[in-house]
Structure 1
Amino acid sequence: MHVDVGNALAVEASPGVPEDALERLDDRVRDAHEHIVAGMTREEFGYAALNLPKTADPAAIERAVEPFADSEVLLNVGIGGSALGAATLVDALGGDLDAHFLDNVDPEHVTALLEDIDLSQTVVHVVSRSGTTAETLANFLVVRDAMEQAGVDWTERTFVTTGPEGNLRDLADEHDLPALDAPEGVPGRFSALSTVGLPAAALAGHDVEAILAGAREGRAALTGSLFDCPAYAYGATAYALDVRGAGINAMMPYAESLETFAEWFAQLWAESLGKDGLGQTPARALGATDQHSQLQLYRAGPRDKLVTLVRAREREDRGIPDTELEGLDYLAGGSLGDLLDAEFEATEASLAESGVPSVRVEIPRIDERSLGRLLYDFEAACVLAGELYGVETFTQPAVEWGKDAARGLLSGERGLPEKTELVVE
């Protein structure tokens, strides 16, 4: 992965990071790196995620999905990190598999989806590390019922990824379902490169080993200096800009297939770093689409944003046909790829001209190896940023409060605090 932070420096942007401040910050990066490596060595909770390139077992994943190789549809039932990593890989890499990620409990959406797909040709992957996630288990119960009503033996079309205990493990044991072990010590949002995210890629026909090989490149690139490590360069720069006022991080990939990556990044960044009144707020955009909408705000609105521009250096292209239409001579002989590159560079220049900080992130191409590296590097960047903020990167107490409150409401065991209402109808 290539990271260019030049347009985030104080000589180019406001807010921006002075070069000497980055050099001073590098001493903290070195100390943070030592702490990260120590956590990885001891397989501590959270830090164990950065060991997945060497601890994940692609052979076990291939064995688990092999019985479902003839499936035409994948229904991944999970929420948050139990869905977004898998969706990022499948959406980026494509394939012939019709993949759906059931990560919400909207009844109209669930009903429409189940009516639309052929359940007899569907493989269901149920993912919950705790095995007790209310939304996931509720959706799975609905899916199971729909299969039974359609005359489909759900036990022959279902496998799970879960922890050693919990309702989902009990269900798998009772019905002899194929079961993969969720990685120990790895929060869901850091689990894309594991039995949580990789089975979907394997079912779509992608090379799981190549994904992990890319991630291993990222692991090997972790050094004690932000000037030598792309992941740390990004994490340190984002942190340094935040403390200088850029409290919003707009993730803007220039590839339709990476739109879900921006969603994955938003969860990773928000849930990991939003603690103790700290953390950047992630925003999701898509180039070139959002040049015609959000860019107006980024360039001319409040000076509180970092824009992260992501693209692949190589991709398939398509020529633009010649036309007799007046005023379109500049498109003649060009391609959609040429136009997209011009849009990328124009956006970058537009932000620089107005003094808005941006970081350029480039990968060689959108393939298994590059995706593995991209996901790993942003996870490492997030872990480093958490060290610099001094927050508990791998916990999510606010999320857990909401889960407990929802369970309490459903069970009748608790209510919510009274609130002031001002209703307009």
Structure 2
Amino acid sequence: MYVDIGNALAAEATTGVSEASLERLDERVARAHERVETGIEAREFGYTSLALPTDTDPEAIRDAVAGFDPEAVLTVGIGGSSLGADTITSALGLDGHHTLDNVDPEHTRRLLERLPLDSTLVNVVSKSGTTAETLANFLVVREAMADAGIDWTNRTVVTTGESGPLADLAVEHDLPTCSVPEGVPGRYSALSEVGLLPAAALGGDIEAVLAGGAAGREALEPSLFDCPAYAYGAVAYATEQRGATTNAFVPYAEALEPFAEWFAQLWAESLGKDGLGQTPARALGATDQHSQLQLYRAGRRDKLVTLVRPRERDDHEIPATEIEELSYLSGGGLGELLDAEFEATEASLADAGQANIRIEIDRLDAHGIGELLYGMEAATILYGELLGVSTFTQPAVEWGKRAARGLLGAGDFEEAEAVEDKTELRIE
């Protein structure tokens, strides 16, 4: 992974950081790195995530999906239980992975109607085994299979914790299982069974993904000037302190769009504490140059724009044309055009004084996505250390879960009372 922070320096950006400030900040990075290393070695909660490339056993994953040769994989999960898997299967170009990560009844019905259920592997994921959205969707999927005359127990694999309703169900029906790793918050679980099982079931090279993650682990150094992941995390932190409260995350590869969704959860849920943290905004290059770039270039200087791309990609030649005004495109490639769009956007933002950072990997392949996932996790954890927040918890999310359970009659939760006490000012 490569990171260029030049356009986030004070000389280039309104919210930029001076090189002298970076030198001072680097002393704090070194101390944070020491804390991170201690946490990894002790397998402390949260820090354990950065040990996953070596702790994850790919054979256990392959054993869980052995005997299946699915046309499609349906992951039933939400948040960290699905976003990592989506990111990896998309980056590897593995067709056939679908997710039920919402409880929109119309979407669920339409997806189940078009899936070949008799050749679909259902991958249900919940660490606690009690996640309301996941369990509700799983019950709907089971019923759809039964209605189609399919024995759901022959088409289901469970990824869950050591105990809970899903673990009990797996034992009762002798279902193949994978374990959610201990000490790893869901949003950090991409390089574990949680994120890798669908790719394995569809024939992906999960060993290469883990090797990419291991390369990211080896790249951790106690200085932002020697470590791309820390450079990104430290400069994102520094720009936030100077007013860049939004992080617009813009990959320039269609297959990285799910990666932007994964990053948004990682960044928001890890760092949004105590009135602090950058708000992630998702975009896609070059598409959103025609919908969002106007704001990023000419709007408020309260943003960091993160531009992500592979350095190498297979290209597709643009055919010759008889239209003279378009002759400059002839003989070039779509990838060449996309790279020109990337660099033009980067320069446009810098010209407007808008802080931006370039992140690159060699290629968008199994090794590259593993390295990228690991690097962004390390960057987030470093940012959290500098910010002084509890990076691995999500109390606001838990509040909402308790409120929803109370509304559904799953117990007495005082949070549900806040819903009933909502202030109303209706205009009809």
Name the TM-score, length of structure 1 as normaliser.
0.98
> Would you say the 8 A contact 1:94–1:204 is kept in 2?
no
Q: Report the secondary structure of 1:313's partner residue.
A: strand
Matches of 1:72 and 1:204, distance apart in 2? 8
Matches of 2:417 and 2:260, distance apart in 1? 33
What displacement does 1:326 show? 3.0
Kindly indicate whether residue 273 of structure 2 is the aligned counterpart of residue 275 of structure 1: yes
Match of 1:82 in 2: 81
Partner amino acid, structure 2, of 1:71: P
Output aligned runs, 1:100-139, within 5 Å. 100-139=98-137
What displacement does 1:319 show? 0.6
Output aligned runs, 1:207-286, within 5 Å. 207-286=205-284
Partner amino acid, structure 2, of 1:278: L
Deviations 1:353-392 (A, max 9, x none): 1110100000001100000000000000000000000000
Matches of 1:94 and 1:181, distance apart in 2? 25
Q: Report the secondary structure of 1:76's partner residue.
A: strand
What displacement does 1:206 show? 1.1
What displacement does 1:94 show? 1.2
Name the TM-score, length of structure 2 as normaliser.
0.98
Matches of 1:338 and 1:41, distance apart in 2? 44
Deviations 1:106-127 (A, max 9, x none): 0111011111111101100000
Matches of 1:130 and 1:241, distance apart in 2? 37
Output aligned runs, 1:16-35, within 5 Å. 16-35=16-35
Match of 1:424 in 2: 427
Output aligned runs, 1:324-335, within 5 Å. 324-335=322-333
> Would you say the 8 A contact 1:62–1:202 is kept in 2?
yes
Number of aligned residue pairs: 423
Output aligned runs, 1:150-229, within 5 Å. 150-229=148-227
Deviations 1:309-367 (A, max 9, x none): 00001111111111111311211211111110110000001001111010000000110
Match of 1:61 in 2: 61
Partner amino acid, structure 2, of 1:230: P
> Would you say the 8 A contact 1:318–1:337 is kept in 2?
yes
What displacement does 1:91 show? 1.2
Matches of 2:230 and 2:160, distance apart in 1? 31
Deviations 1:11-61 (A, max 9, x none): 111110000101100000000011111111111100000000110000111
Matches of 1:411 and 1:419, distance apart in 2? 19
1:407 corresponds to which of 402, 405, 408: 405
What displacement does 1:105 show? 0.5
- Between 1:197-206 and 1:2-11, the stretch displaced more is 197-206
Matches of 2:41 and 2:363, distance apart in 1? 32
Matches of 1:282 and 1:159, distance apart in 2? 33
Query: Any stretches of 5+ residues in structure 2 without a counterpart?
Result: none
Match of 1:94 in 2: 93
Partner amino acid, structure 1, of 2:21: A
> Would you say the 8 A contact 1:86–1:196 is kept in 2?
yes
Partner amino acid, structure 1, of 2:81: S
Partner amino acid, structure 1, of 2:170: A
Deviations 1:266-314 (A, max 9, x none): 0000000000001000000000000011000000000000000000011
Query: Any stretches of 5+ residues in structure 1 without a counterpart?
Result: none
Match of 1:37 in 2: 37
- Work out the percentage of aligned pairs sharing the same amino acid: 67
Q: Report the secondary structure of 1:375's partner residue.
A: helix
Q: Report the secondary structure of 1:327's partner residue.
A: helix
Output aligned runs, 1:284-299, within 5 Å. 284-299=282-297
Partner amino acid, structure 2, of 1:3: V
> Would you say the 8 A contact 1:85–1:197 is kept in 2?
yes
